[in-house]
Amino acid sequence: MAVILWVTMVAIALRFGVQAWLAWLNSCEIGRHRGTVPAALRGVMDADTYRKAGDYSLAKLRFGQWEGVWDTLVLVVVLVSGLLPTAWDAWTNRLGEGAWSGAAFLVALLLALSVPSLPWDWWAQFRLEQRFGFNRSTMGLWIADRVKGAILGAAIGTPVLWLLIVVVERTGPLWWLWAWLTLTAIKLILAVAVPWWIMPLFNKFTPLSDAGLRDRLMALADRGRFHARSIHVMDGSKRSAHSNALFTGFGRFRRIVLFDTLIAQLGVEELEAVLAHEIGHYRRGHIWKSLLLGTVLTLGGFLLLGWLMATPAFFAAFGFAEASTPVAFLLFGLLSGVFGFWFTPLATLLSRKHEYEADAFARELVGAAAPLVRALKGLARENLSNLTPHPAYSAFYYSHPTLVERVAALERDGSPARPSAPAAG
For the stretch 1-20, pLDDT in tens is: 589 999 999 999 999 999 99
**Residue 262 Cα distances to 92, 144, 200, 245, 350, angstroms:** 50, 25, 19, 7, 26
Task: Provide the domain limits for residue 226.
Answer: 203-265
pLDDT at 424: 32
> How many residues are listed for the chain in this entry?
425
Judged against a pLDDT cut of 80, whether residue 253 lies above it is answered with no
pLDDT at 423: 33
Instruction: Give the active site residue among 270, 355, 359, 405.
Output: 359
Average pLDDT over residues 91-97: 95
- The answer to whether residue 256 sits within a structural domain is yes
Share of the chain above pLDDT 70, in %: 96
pLDDT at 83: 96
Judged against a pLDDT cut of 60, whether residue 414 lies above it is answered with no
- The answer to whether residue 77 sits within a structural domain is no
- The answer to whether residue 224 sits within a structural domain is yes
- Report DSSP letters for 12-34, one per residue: HHHHHHHHHHHHHHHHHHHHHHT
Judged against a pLDDT cut of 80, whether residue 248 lies above it is answered with no
Give the chain's domain count.
1
| Rounded-to-integer distance, Cα 285 and Cα 281, Å | 6
Q: Is 245 helix (H, G, I), strand (E, B) or coil?
A: strand
- The answer to whether residue 234 sits within a structural domain is yes
pLDDT at 422: 35
In 3D space, the residue among 103, 107, 105, 115 whose CA is nearest the CA of residue 146 turns out to be 115
- The answer to whether residue 242 sits within a structural domain is yes
For the stretch 341-399, pLDDT in tens is: 999 999 999 999 999 999 999 999 999 999 999 999 999 999 999 999 999 999 999 99
In 3D space, the residue among 197, 207, 259, 199 whose CA is nearest the CA of residue 230 turns out to be 207
| Rounded-to-integer distance, Cα 281 and Cα 274, Å | 11
pLDDT at 1: 57
Instruction: Give the active site residue among 278, 355, 382, 405.
Output: 278
In 3D space, the residue among 261, 237, 236, 240 whose CA is nearest the CA of residue 134 turns out to be 240
Q: Is 389 helix (H, G, I), strand (E, B) or coil?
A: coil
Model confidence at 412, in pLDDT bands (50, 70, 90)?
confident
Residue-averaged pLDDT of the chain: 92
Enumerate the β-bridge partners of residue 42.
Answer: 45
Q: Pairing mode, if any, of strands 205-207 and 231-234?
A: antiparallel
- CATH, residue 216: 3.30.2010.10
For the stretch 167-211, pLDDT in tens is: 999 999 999 999 999 999 999 899 888 888 999 999 999 999 999
Q: Sheet of 205-207: strands edge to edge?
A: 205-207, 231-234, 255-259, 245-248
Identify whether the C-beta of residue 225 lies closer than 8 Å to the C-beta of residue 283: yes
**Lowest model confidence (mean pLDDT) among 107-111, 145-149, 225-229, 276-280:** 225-229
Active site residue 359: yes
pLDDT at 419: 41
Model confidence at 250, in pLDDT bands (50, 70, 90)?
low
- The answer to whether residue 379 sits within a structural domain is no
- Report DSSP letters for 125-137, one per residue: IIIIHHHTT-B--
Identify whether the C-beta of residue 248 lies closer than 8 Å to the C-beta of residue 195: yes
- The answer to whether residue 304 sits within a structural domain is no
Q: Which residue has the higher pLDDT, 415 or 49?
A: 49
For the stretch 161-171, pLDDT in tens is: 999 999 999 99
- The answer to whether residue 324 sits within a structural domain is no
In 3D space, the residue among 336, 332, 298, 339 whose CA is nearest the CA of residue 315 turns out to be 332
Judged against a pLDDT cut of 90, whether residue 308 lies above it is answered with yes
Average pLDDT over residues 321-325: 93
For the stretch 27-71, pLDDT in tens is: 999 998 877 888 878 888 999 999 999 999 999 999 999 999 999
Residues 6+ apart with CB under 8 A from 17: none
Judged against a pLDDT cut of 60, whether residue 421 lies above it is answered with no
Active site residue 278: yes
